[in-house]
């Protein structure tokens, strides 16, 4: 019997620069610029006061356009996004049902400006949905959300040894990790900013340091690296690869258009 969403993990919804909000079956969230919304999107006057709604159902997530002026786009993978027309008084198009996976949601301007809302939906029927080739192993009980900045930092840290099984490649330093992440995410405006301004560069490097620190702590909590010793990049990468938290299959993400689009949305608004 197919599982329903209430038997699985919660749906996650986040603004481009915010912490994910978790929703269970029966809950809904309205996002936009105006007062009274559940997920505020800043003060951009071109953003509707009520952009859209995410409602969690037993068989997926219903995404509805609440704007009377702008179409709502749902980008759930490569190719053309689903377009939900502007709300017309007295009518309702029923929205779009996202059954599993992730999507970037927003007006055309929001997607272009990397300000889209990110919706992540767990699969409703495990075993019936073909897992992506870059899915992660749960053997080590360490789970990472592939669509976070932390995961990109971990993947780029491991990349030299993933590409060279003999593990003689030099691992990147934290400043190098930050530059690689911005280049991969096509966040060139941030590259120019940290190159030109020492204070911005220092603040950005602290963010990368925090990602690595969080990763190290996650591994230590599961007993994969020593908890009370100084642990360098080589020990972190060794643990991630040995316990199959990250593997060669994840290199495919670096060519995955949807994953890159999600990461671009995350990194463009990280400062």
Q: Rounded distance, CA 148 to CA 155, Å?
A: 11
Q: Which residues of 28-38 are buried (b: 16+ CB within 10 A; e: fewer)?
A: ebbbbbeeebe
Lowest-pLDDT range of 88-102, 142-156, 166-180:
88-102
Contact 153, 181 (CB under 8 A): yes
| pLDDT above 90 as % of the chain | 42
- pLDDT score of 93: 61
Tokens of 48: 């509707």
How confident is the model over 143-156, as a mean pLDDT?
91
Q: Rounded distance, CA 87 to CA 100, Å?
A: 25
Count the helices and strands in the chain (H runs, E runs). 7, 11
Q: Rounded distance, CA 55 to CA 122, Å?
A: 14
- Closest of 138, 154, 166 to residue 244, by C-alpha: 138
Contact 12, 21 (CB under 8 A): yes
**Per residue in 207-231, pLDDT tens?**
999 999 999 998 888 887 777 667 7
Q: Rounded distance, CA 56 to CA 60, Å?
A: 6
**Per residue in 26-53, pLDDT tens?**
999 999 998 889 999 887 888 899 999 9
**Per residue in 100-123, pLDDT tens?**
888 999 999 898 888 899 999 886
Give the domains, in start order, of the chain with CATH numbers: 5-121 (2.60.200.20), 149-268 (no CATH)
How would you list the strands of the sheet with 28-32, edge to edge?
39-40, 28-32, 52-57, 60-65, 96-98
Q: Rounded distance, CA 24 to CA 12, Å?
A: 9
Residue bearing tokens 């952009």: 51
Lowest-pLDDT range of 9-13, 153-157, 237-241:
9-13
Tell the burial category of 69 from Cβ atoms under 10 Å away from its Cβ (0-12, 13-18, 19+): exposed
């Amino acid at each position: 019997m197919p599982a329903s969403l209430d038997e699985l993990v919660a749906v996650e919804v986040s603004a481009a620069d915010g912490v994910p909000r978790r929703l269970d079956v029966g809950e809904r969230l309205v996002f936009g610029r105006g007062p009274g919304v559940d997920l505020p999107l800043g003060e951009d006057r071109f953003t509707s006061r009520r952009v859209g709604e995410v409602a969690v159902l037993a068989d997926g997530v219903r995404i509805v356009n609440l704007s009377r002026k702008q179409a709502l786009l749902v980008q759930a993978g490569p190719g053309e996004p689903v377009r939900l027309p502007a709300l017309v008084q007295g009518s309702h198009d029923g929205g779009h049902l996202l059954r599993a996976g992730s999507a970037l949601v927003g007006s055309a301007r929001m997607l272009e400006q990397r300000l889209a809302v990110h919706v992540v939906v767990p699969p409703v029927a495990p075993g019936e949905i073909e897992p992506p080739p870059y899915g992660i192993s749960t053997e080590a009980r360490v789970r990472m959300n592939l669509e976070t900045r932390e995961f990109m930092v971990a993947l780029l840290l491991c990349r030299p040894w993933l590409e060279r099984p003999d593990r003689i490649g030099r691992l990147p330093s934290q400043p190098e990790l930050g530059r690689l992440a911005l280049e991969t995410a096509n966040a060139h405006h941030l590259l120019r900013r940290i190159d030109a301004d020492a204070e911005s560069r220092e603040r950005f490097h602290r963010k990368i340091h925090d990602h690595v620190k969080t990763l190290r702590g996650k591994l230590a909590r599961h007993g994969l690296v020593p908890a009370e010793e100084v642990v360098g990049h080589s020990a972190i990468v060794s643990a991630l690869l040995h316990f199959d938290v990250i593997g060669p299959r994840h290199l495919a993400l670096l060519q995955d258009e949807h994953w890159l689009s999600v990461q671009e949305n995350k990194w463009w608004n990280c400062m």
